[in-house]
Structure 1
Amino acid sequence: MPIKVHCKECDTTFSVKDEAAGKRVRCKGCGSPVKVPSGEKRKKRAATASKSADTDDFLASFDIDKIEDKEARICPRCGHDADEEDIECSNCGVNLTTGRLSEKTRKKRRRKGPAIEEFYSKSWGDAYTFLGNHKGLATKTFLYSFIASTLFFCAIFMMFWCHRTPPRAFWGFIAFVSIMAVPGWIWFIQTEVVRFALQKKDKLKRINFDFFLCSALGMKFIFWIVLFSLPAQAVFGTIGYYYITNGSIPIGAALIAVGFIPTFLMFPLAMPHMTVADSTPGWLVHKLGRVFLTLAKPALFWCFVFFVTTLPAIGCLAAIGAISGSDLDTFFSNVRYNSAVAADNDAKEWADENKIEDFVEGPMVGKKPVELQPKVLILPSILWLFACLFYAPTLIYNARVNGLLAVHCKPDLQLITKLEEVKYVSKAEREKTGPPTPRWQLSLVGIGIGVVVGIAMFFLIPLMPLLLLRVLLIIMGVAQIGCLFNVLAQIKQKEGLGFAILGFFVSIYAYVMGWIYAKKDKEIGGTMMLWTLFFIASTLTQIGLVYHAVSMMITEFNNNVNAQAPEDPAAEPAAAEAGEGPADPAVDAAPAEPAVP
């Protein structure tokens, strides 16, 4: 059978004999050498051709409508099998109906970092593994917490025991410094674990305990709690104080505790901000509040984990209060009583030694001190030991969960990991964005609204309950404090920490600097307008309070003077002689004599 050969040079096809298979022949058209295909290749080609022909015949014999499984669901994009209840493909995330990615899936893919959903399932086991790798840190936490708290209780005992001012001041200072080390260590551990989690490190470096550093961080922690609790305590704390002063102590204490709930909820979101270059958002309630609205679910999950893991420690503290609360109260009352007895007796001895005749004896002179019962401290001490023992590992555990929250929620936390670079903005670009509102307009708006609100409050004071008036004044005061701290944050960023501290103690400096910054910063301009508004409104309200209080005092004084004025006995005869006294009813009632004709 002749073999067909194709020449690539001149694109000519010609036939040769079978004997030329595998050899080179010259092209009949151009004379170029052309290799003749061997017999094996021709057989493979023939087999392939016959196979393809058989396949075509086989497929042609199929009825697609009969063999198609119309009940099966597959992804229109990747062909992955899908269940009947699936809305999106589990493999590629495409909507099985539309064949496109949903908006939720697009956001998830655009989002950098791990998904938030992984945080809830991963945190339990990961934090437990982290705790197992840092048993030494948990042991240190137990020892430091127990030693610092024990030193605090001993210092408190000595402060009550001593009856002279210098020793009491010394032991009071020791008590304050020692107890501040406990929240300071909590703050330190939280920030370190979160920092290493953001750096994607699972093993902490060696952490040493610095007593005075922890005391300073403890004061920082307490200040943060007070700052974030002010808005809620302005309402709940005031109402709670009202209930406490009226004898409803449980209700008042519960309301005050409710005022700390927002601070507790925002704590896991503030810790990541404390580990980066600029921690300003972690100190501003309004900025962290916006972050909380986005990450409320992870924050609530951390609070739930914290509550569950600290239940044993909370149980020990509750047992101390329930079992030994009255005994401890009696014990420290006796300590104070003995201190008062010693103070009065020492004063009496000193007066006798110096022969002071006009000395006035104290009420405790001659009384004997009460014998103390130290055995009542045994059970509370044991329970406190177990409370510290239970809390130490939970601190490490919860710190790791907080670190995982920071890792999974980093895009939404709005962390400022780098300090903002000062850039020159050309005049043309400034004109595009639009200049900030002139300061005189902002000041006029603030003054105008403040005057209107203040005058309204001035006239409404007599009609308002005293409790509501106090709440409004506290709210205005808290708003001014918030504006102050917002300006202080800008002063710290632009001028330095020293000037920020100066502005904290001299608020007029912060107020002036705020208006200076308002020339270029719209946000600071709005802050200064609100500050001016609340300042004028609160000032006029306080003036109205003083005015109405003085008016009531003057009115009450005049009423008392009129009520206590003595009667003049000589006034009635004189008035009677002048014909001005009261008429005699007997004379008036007598009939007139008839006229004589």
Structure 2
Amino acid sequence: MPIKVRCKECSTVMAVPDKAAGRAVKCKSCGGRVPVPNPAARKAKASRSAQGAAGSEAAKSRPAKKRPVKKRRPRPAAEPSFDDFGDSDDLFGGLDLGRAEHADQRVCPGCASPVDEDDIECPKCGVNIETGALSEKQRVRIARKGPPPEEFYSKALPNAWKFLMNHKSWAVKTGLNWGISVAMVILAAFVLNWYIDGRIRELVDTAEGPVEITDSYVLIKPTDNGDILYDGVKYGTGSTRLDANKQLILPPPRIAAMTSPPAIFWTFIFVIFTLGCGGWAWTLADKIVHLTMSGEKKIKRFAGDMFGNMTKGFTTIFWPIVLMYPVIWIPVAMHFSGVGDVACIATFATLMLIPYMVFLAPAMVHMSQPYTYRAWLINWMAKDWVNTLVPSMYVSVLFFFLVLMIPLGIAIGIAVGWNQFTDFYTNQIELPALNAMFGYTAEDADSSWMFAFTRMPLLFTVAALTCTTLGMLLAFPSILMMRVFGLFGLYFKPDLSLCAEQTPLAPAGFGPRFLAIQVDLIISAGIGLACYLGSGYAAGLVGHLYNSPQIAAIARWVIFGGALAGILGFYFSRWESGAGRATLGKWTFGMIVLRDNNEPMDTNLALKRAAASLISVLSLGMTFIMCAFHPEHRAVHDTLTKTKVVWRGDENL
């Protein structure tokens, strides 16, 4: 009668022949050793136990008799054998333990996973089924320490779509942000156009007397016959503003209108909201790329303040300019060579688009790292682009058709047909709407009151509705592409020359220092423009005080030079000797300035270093280029002041 046994390892129940009683068999599922009980032995043991119990009762009635106890040597247990089973029809009949395994299922020798008969390599661990060793392809794959790159093309879009569906609220926020920002940009552009045209007509129409107005200058030369009226000011032969030749040269009407306070204000509004639109996109993309490469699934703790992220908007404009620095001067040279303005603008726009069409994917990955300077250098971007040629082109094509094509087409259409666009809005939208609400006519177009209280609100409303709708349609594919950029960095990180850390106090090279100078030059240019405009007003007061145009001209350049040197000296010396130990440009790319003994500079030394850096300006940058060949990357002004520019370390980022 068969005996039922249960395997303790896998709980499989088996029926074994009674010949196996008291032995052990091999489990048919897991191959483990399963002991088989012997029912006959149990009965005999139970009978002996009963007899022993009866004998013990009888022994209690007799006096105890001590007998010597003999210790028996234990007999070794016999190994179980199935030879006694013979030709039994049972499952375990004639079972050979040495060859008892499942012959119908192949397993990987590396990870013991089931594999198919046709598999040469294990699909799970990549081990060769026959040899048990990794192939060269699998060794390279494991050495990359990341997901297999060939999976990027099949998983990028599905993963990005799933991410987009989980972040629809961020797409809505992005669309609203872009819609309002672009509406404000359009409003500022229309106000500027209306104000400048009106101001030019006012200057020309109100001029009285012999005033020579050209596109380059306005010449006022009073005569003895009477006074001249221009811009509300009378100029007679005794005017203190006339030079030695009894004449006065003023800026042309267009320049005068563009530099007036209202024009400056609306230009500021135009720039701020342009930066806000691009800054939001760049900041959000940086966040999504970073969390994707970190393995996170949701956006957390992201500052969605539009104004707080406007500083990132400078990256949108200056990144392509700095990246294409060696060739960005081509349209400038074309302009001075007599080439038409349309060709120069088209060349400049093409050079600005190249980084977004070619290098955007690797650049976005670099921008998400603690050190971003390599994203600004064409040599590093070209190297990364070559190393990831196929995926970079794949991402670029996706970016063009999903994101860039629509706004680029709209921008080109508006630029080509600007007059038709403004005529359509004025005649087909603005005039009928305002006429129905306020009785507005075309004669009211020049009225400041009507423009401020009717035309501007209507324009903003129409622009906000239109741009928000377009922004929503553009925001969803943009969020999707931001995720694709992050997946690009995740799959091809070993092929990108990322800089996630720097040795603290290690010398900074020529490339990062060159980028820092570009940022400081932009700041210096803004300071210089403010000083130039301020010196003009100050020089006018000096000329009026001494009643001498010659003194006024000299005073303007003296005031301009002194103010510029003082403010720039304060900027460089105070910032490099302060708590940050770096100018804004150096701090942006993670560098600081220290003494040779790694101590911070004091204000006097920082001021001397700023003065010594003028050598680089006078030598047209030749003394600065020397830091590319110096073993510690020091320029001449570093050596003269015994200072150095080093990386500040990851702990301060």
Matches within 5 A, 1:52-451: 80-81=115-116, 83=118, 90=123, 93=126, 101-162=134-195, 163=199, 164=257, 165-233=260-328, 237=331, 245=339, 253=346, 257=350, 260-310=353-403, 313-314=406-407, 317=410, 321=414, 325-328=418-421, 330=423, 384-422=467-505
Q: Is the 8 A contact 2:179 2:464 kept in 1?
A: no
Residue 588 of structure 2 is aligned to residue 495 of structure 1: no
Q: Is the 8 A contact 1:142 1:391 kept in 2?
A: yes
Q: Is the 8 A contact 2:184 2:460 kept in 1?
A: no
SS of the residue aligned with 1:386? helix
Question: What per-residue deviation string (whole Å, max 9, x for no partner) do you get for residues 222-245 of structure 1?
Answer: 11111123345456x579879993
Identical counterparts, % of pairs = 25
Q: What's the offset of the Cα at 1:218? A: 1.0
Question: What per-residue deviation string (whole Å, max 9, x for no partner) do you get for residues 264-290 of structure 1?
Answer: 321121122222222221222212221
Q: Is the 8 A contact 2:285 2:482 kept in 1?
A: yes
Q: What's the offset of the Cα at 1:322? A: 10
Question: What per-residue deviation string (whole Å, max 9, x for no partner) do you get for residues 133-169 of structure 1?
Answer: 2122111111111111111111111111122422111
Question: What per-residue deviation string (whole Å, max 9, x for no partner) do you get for residues 176-197 of structure 1?
Answer: 1111111111111111111222
Q: Is the 8 A contact 1:240 1:254 kept in 2?
A: no
Q: Is the 8 A contact 2:148 2:491 kept in 1?
A: yes
Q: Is the 8 A contact 2:289 2:486 kept in 1?
A: yes
When residues 515 and 131 of structure 1 are mapped into structure 2, their CA distance, relative to the original with a 3 A threshold, is same
In 1, the alpha carbon distance for the partners of 2:308 and 2:387 equals 34
* Aligned residue type for 1:221: T
Q: Is the 8 A contact 1:280 1:489 kept in 2?
A: no
Q: Is the 8 A contact 2:187 2:459 kept in 1?
A: no
When residues 126 and 239 of structure 1 are mapped into structure 2, their CA distance, relative to the original with a 3 A threshold, is farther
Q: Is the 8 A contact 1:146 1:385 kept in 2?
A: yes
Q: Is the 8 A contact 2:128 2:134 kept in 1?
A: yes
Q: Is the 8 A contact 1:241 1:252 kept in 2?
A: no
Question: What per-residue deviation string (whole Å, max 9, x for no partner) do you get for residues 105-142 of structure 1?
Answer: 32111111212222222221221121112122111111
Q: Is the 8 A contact 1:74 1:82 kept in 2?
A: no
In 2, the alpha carbon distance for the partners of 1:96 and 1:108 equals 18
SS of the residue aligned with 2:396? helix
Equivalent of 2:73 in 30, 34, 58: 34
When residues 292 and 115 of structure 1 are mapped into structure 2, their CA distance, relative to the original with a 3 A threshold, is same
When residues 406 and 391 of structure 1 are mapped into structure 2, their CA distance, relative to the original with a 3 A threshold, is same
Residue 83 of structure 2 is aligned to residue 49 of structure 1: yes
Q: What's the offset of the Cα at 1:221? A: 2.1
In 2, the alpha carbon distance for the partners of 1:296 and 1:214 equals 32
SS of the residue aligned with 1:130? helix
Q: What's the offset of the Cα at 1:173? A: 1.3
Q: What's the offset of the Cα at 1:320? A: 5.6
In 1, the alpha carbon distance for the partners of 2:269 and 2:315 equals 18
In 2, the alpha carbon distance for the partners of 1:311 and 1:105 equals 38
SS of the residue aligned with 1:495? strand
When residues 411 and 187 of structure 1 are mapped into structure 2, their CA distance, relative to the original with a 3 A threshold, is same
Counterpart position of 2:616: 508
Q: Is the 8 A contact 1:75 1:81 kept in 2?
A: no
Q: Is the 8 A contact 1:158 1:171 kept in 2?
A: yes
* Aligned residue type for 1:126: N
TM-score scaled to structure 1, two decimals? Answer: 0.51
Structure 1, unmatched stretches of 5+, are 1-17, 24-30, 60-67, 335-367, 425-486, 529-597
When residues 92 and 180 of structure 1 are mapped into structure 2, their CA distance, relative to the original with a 3 A threshold, is closer
SS of the residue aligned with 2:154? helix
RMSD: 5.4
When residues 189 and 57 of structure 1 are mapped into structure 2, their CA distance, relative to the original with a 3 A threshold, is closer
In 1, the alpha carbon distance for the partners of 2:425 and 2:158 equals 45
In 2, the alpha carbon distance for the partners of 1:123 and 1:388 equals 24
Q: Is the 8 A contact 1:229 1:260 kept in 2?
A: no
Question: What per-residue deviation string (whole Å, max 9, x for no partner) do you get for residues 198-221 of structure 1?
Answer: 222111124343343333211222
Q: What's the offset of the Cα at 1:252? A: 8.1
When residues 507 and 322 of structure 1 are mapped into structure 2, their CA distance, relative to the original with a 3 A threshold, is same
Structure 2, unmatched stretches of 5+, are 1-40, 49-69, 97-102, 200-256, 428-444, 508-584, 595-599, 637-653
When residues 167 and 290 of structure 1 are mapped into structure 2, their CA distance, relative to the original with a 3 A threshold, is same
